[in-house]
Amino acid sequence: MKRTFAILFLGLLAGLGAHIGWFSASAPENPTELGAQLAWMRSSLRLSDEQLLRIRALHEQSAPRLLALAAQVNGMQGELAAFERARQTEGQIDFLEFARFVEERRRLDRECLASTQRLVSAASEVMTPQQRQQYLTLLEPALKMLRGNPSG
């Protein structure tokens, strides 16, 4: 009796140990880090070491510019919220100011789109035609969204 339960317990313990060990053996990296994203690109697109280095350099070069643009977009979202608050509290807004804002926002959206396209294009040039096609297929949903709704 005791032997049977001991074997059952041992089996359960061994199975659980194997499960936890195997599952936690390969905990993924933080997905927001560039290294993890490039590693994913490398495995998805089968990039060579040289291609990976060049693509990493391109992304690192463009990162400050893209971050600055994102900060500007954030600032403009704040301005838009301020216009909306003014409309709700005062019942009116300065239309000249708003028109300037809309124009500025359009310019910024175009700049964002151009920056993204420049980076995608530069990264594509490093790739072989097959890799490029696969890369663009992966990015297609986002690119479509940007082209379809450039104002975000």
Partner 1 sequence: MPDPTDSDPLDPLLDRLGRQTPLPPAPLGPEVWRRISLAEESARGGFWERFHAVFARPSFAVTFVAACVFLGLFLAEVRRSRRQDDYNRELMQSYLRLIDPLLQAADRPSLAQTGTKS
CA distance 47 to 127: 8
Of the residues 48, 61, 77, 133, which one makes contact with partner 1 according to CB under 8 A? 77
Task: Provide, rounded to whole angstroms, the least separation between the CB of residue 29 and partner 1.
Answer: 9
CB atoms within 10 A of CB 106: 12
Q: Which stretch binds partner 1 (CB under 8 A): 45-53, 68-76, 90-98, 126-134?
A: 68-76
CA distance 66 to 70: 6
Backbone angles phi, psi at 112, to 5 degrees: -60, -50
Indicate whether 109 belongs to the interface with partner 1 (CB under 8 A): yes
Task: Provide, rounded to whole angstroms, the least separation between the CB of residue 57 and partner 1.
Answer: 14
For the segment 11-30, give every residue that binds partner 1 (CB under 8 A): 11-12, 14-23, 26, 28
CA 126 to the chain's CA centroid: 20
CA angle 140, 75, 94 (to 5 degrees): 115
Q: Which residues contact 34 (CB under 8 A, 6 or more apart)?
A: 56, 59, 60, 63
# of chain residues touching partner 1 (CB under 8 A)? 57
Q: What is the CA radius of gyration of the chain?
A: 25
For the segment 37-66, give every residue that binds partner 1 (CB under 8 A): 37, 40-41, 59, 62-63, 66
Residues in contact with partner 1 by the rule CB under 8 A: 1, 3-4, 7-8, 10-12, 14-23, 26, 28, 31-32, 34, 36-37, 40-41, 59, 62-63, 66-67, 69-75, 77-79, 81-82, 85, 109, 112-113, 115-116, 119-120, 138-139, 142, 146, 152
